[in-house]
């Protein structure tokens, strides 16, 4: 079995991990323009991690994971970002794995976990529906039990990278008239190559296809693909997100964007303009203080604590800061803000418009910032009504 990394001092782990990653993550995959590369585009990195046994940082070691504590996992993610490694299609690693480890049968674990590590199964996550965005409990995709087979009908949307996945982890309604809307929901593992499945990629504002619609027309799913208990999938679905929530608020994106802004501004001589400098200083300090706030939550995790609802503050701040930084890039660009493509800045190209458009997404997805504010109002400030 793999070594117990939690026994290794933090700085040693950081150093070992960084050195190996730096030597093994291919140069052409570093600092990719694409936020969400397809599986094929990053397969060699995926397999390299798997071969080393470092693909699944949070899975227990007996299932081929690294079994990292929250504190060690933070280091893993930090170094990953610092070295500019690409995001890999991670729904198998980050969602389906933990889900099966917690709720799966022994048979399911034995079958699916290795397939994730080998890259044979590429997973996507079927939560959202056209009329159930932030309001997840109102989903309508149905599954009816016909003997030992569920027959699934309906539609999912905003399914990230479904067009390069072959399995979907899907929430379906198995009870139509449940009194509490959260009841009567079930989690199924569904083979996307089954007859009756249709995947339609959706182009986003940046001209890329991060997500898809997935249609189910009498798709037959064996009963053994049920996760947890029937009708009680809501608990399963909600439980998956653990301390990973902190990464929704990680300063990664604004950090990258501010660095780009700095390069652009230097190339354009904008730092000579004190009015720009004043705006830049505000953004710089926002980023710096976001780091301090992030550290406050990370400390809780390192001390073995659990994150409260207050961590939503990070998500709001980081996503809105990302937007403000990229808006400033368009101001600095001046008339060049009219271009769709990258802007030359000395020896680098700055993808100002790409970042600006990309920055529209995080404030919407993963629970819109309005929803996050509602959560904070109720759960942290305990405001009435």
Instruction: Write the Ramachandran bin of 207: left for phi over 0, alpha for psi from -120 to 50, otherwise beta.
Output: left
Residues with Cβ < 8 Å from 183, sequence gap 6 or more? 175, 231, 232, 234
**Catalytic-residue membership of 336:** no
State in angstroms the smallest separation of the CB of 279 from its own copies: 8
Given other proteins, its own copies, none, residue 316, with its beta carbon under 5 to 8 Å by kind, binds other proteins
Catalytic: which of 44, 213, 232, 244? Answer: 244
Strand partners, 216: 154, 197
State in angstroms the smallest separation of the CB of 210 from its own copies: 31
Name which of 214, 211, 210, 201 is nearest 172 in CA terms. Answer: 214
> By C-beta, is 199 or 277 nearer to other proteins?
277
Residues with Cβ < 8 Å from 281, sequence gap 6 or more? none
State in angstroms the smallest separation of the CB of 319 from its own copies: 25
> By C-beta, is 113 or 265 nearer to other proteins?
265
The sign one gets for the Cα dihedral 353, 357, 359, 360 is positive
Inter-residue contact 140 to 134 (CB < 8 Å): no
Inter-residue contact 261 to 328 (CB < 8 Å): yes
Inter-residue contact 239 to 190 (CB < 8 Å): no
Give the interface with other proteins as residue ranges (CB under 8 A).
128, 131, 133-135, 138, 157-158, 202-205, 207, 271-272, 274-275, 277-278, 280-282, 284-285, 288-293, 295-296, 299, 310, 313, 316-317, 323, 327, 330-331, 333-341, 353, 360-361, 363-365, 368, 370, 373-374, 376-377, 380-381, 383-385
State in angstroms the smallest separation of the CB of 367 from other proteins: 11
In residues, how long is the chain? 385
Give Dmax (Cα) for the chain: 74
> By C-beta, is 25 or 71 nearer to other proteins?
71
Two tokens at 50? 């798997």
Neighbouring C-alpha atoms within 13 Å toward the C-beta of 118:
7
> By C-beta, is 195 or 274 nearer to its own copies?
274
Give the interface with its own copies as residue ranges (CB under 8 A).
273-275, 277-278
Residues with Cβ < 8 Å from 316, sequence gap 6 or more? 249, 369, 372, 373, 376
- Cα separations in angstroms, 216 against 4, 190, 193, 273, 374: 43, 10, 11, 57, 33
Two tokens at 348? 């680098």
Given other proteins, its own copies, none, residue 31, with its beta carbon under 5 to 8 Å by kind, binds none
Given other proteins, its own copies, none, residue 271, with its beta carbon under 5 to 8 Å by kind, binds other proteins
State in angstroms the smallest separation of the CB of 379 from its own copies: 24
State in angstroms the smallest separation of the CB of 337 from its own copies: 18
Inter-residue contact 129 to 57 (CB < 8 Å): no
> By C-beta, is 278 or 382 nearer to its own copies?
278
> By C-beta, is 46 or 358 nearer to other proteins?
358
Active site residues: 244
């Amino acid at each position: 079995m793999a070594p117990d990394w939690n026994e290794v001092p933090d700085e040693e782990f950081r150093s070992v991990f960084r050195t190996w990653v730096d030597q093994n993550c291919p140069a052409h995959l570093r600092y990719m323009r694409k936020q969400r590369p397809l599986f094929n585009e990053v397969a060699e990195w995926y397999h390299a991690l798997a071969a080393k046994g470092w693909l699944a940082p949070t899975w227990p070691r007996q299932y081929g994971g690294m079994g990292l504590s929250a504190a060690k996992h933070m280091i893993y993610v930090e170094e990953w970002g610092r070295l500019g490694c690409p995001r890999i299609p991670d729904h198998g690693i980050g969602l389906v794995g933990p889900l099966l480890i917690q709720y799966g049968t022994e048979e399911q674990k034995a079958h699916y976990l290795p397939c994730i590590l080998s890259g044979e199964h590429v997973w996507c996550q079927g939560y959202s529906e056209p009329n159930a965005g932030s309001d997840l409990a109102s989903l309508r995709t149905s599954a009816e039990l016909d003997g030992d087979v569920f027959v699934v009908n309906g539609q999912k949307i905003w399914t990230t990278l479904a067009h390069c996945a072959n399995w979907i982890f899907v929430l379906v309604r198995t009870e139509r008239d449940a009194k509490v809307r959260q009841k009567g929901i079930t989690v199924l593992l569904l083979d996307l190559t089954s007859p009756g499945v249709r995947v339609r990629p959706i182009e986003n504002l940046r001209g890329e296809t991060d997500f898809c619609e997935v249609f189910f027309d009498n798709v037959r799913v064996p009963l053994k693909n049920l996760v947890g208990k029937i009708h009680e999938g809501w608990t399963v679905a909600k439980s998956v997100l653990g301390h990973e929530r902190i990464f929704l608020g990680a300063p990664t994106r604004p950090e990258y964007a501010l660095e780009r802004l700095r390069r652009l501004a230097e190339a354009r001589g904008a730092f000579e303009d004190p009015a720009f400098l004043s705006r830049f200083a505000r953004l710089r300090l926002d980023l710096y203080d976001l780091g301090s706030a992030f550290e406050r939550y990370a400390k809780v995790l390192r001390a073995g604590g659990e994150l409260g609802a207050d961590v939503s503050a990070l998500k709001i701040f980081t996503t809105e800061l990302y937007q403000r930084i990229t808006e400033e890039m368009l101001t600095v660009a001046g008339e060049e803000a009219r271009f769709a493509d990258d802007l030359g800045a000395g020896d680098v190209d700055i993808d100002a418009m790409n970042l600006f458009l990309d920055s529209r997404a995080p404030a919407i997805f993963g629970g819109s910032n309005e929803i996050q504010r509602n959560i904070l109002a109720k759960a942290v400030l305990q405001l009435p009504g």
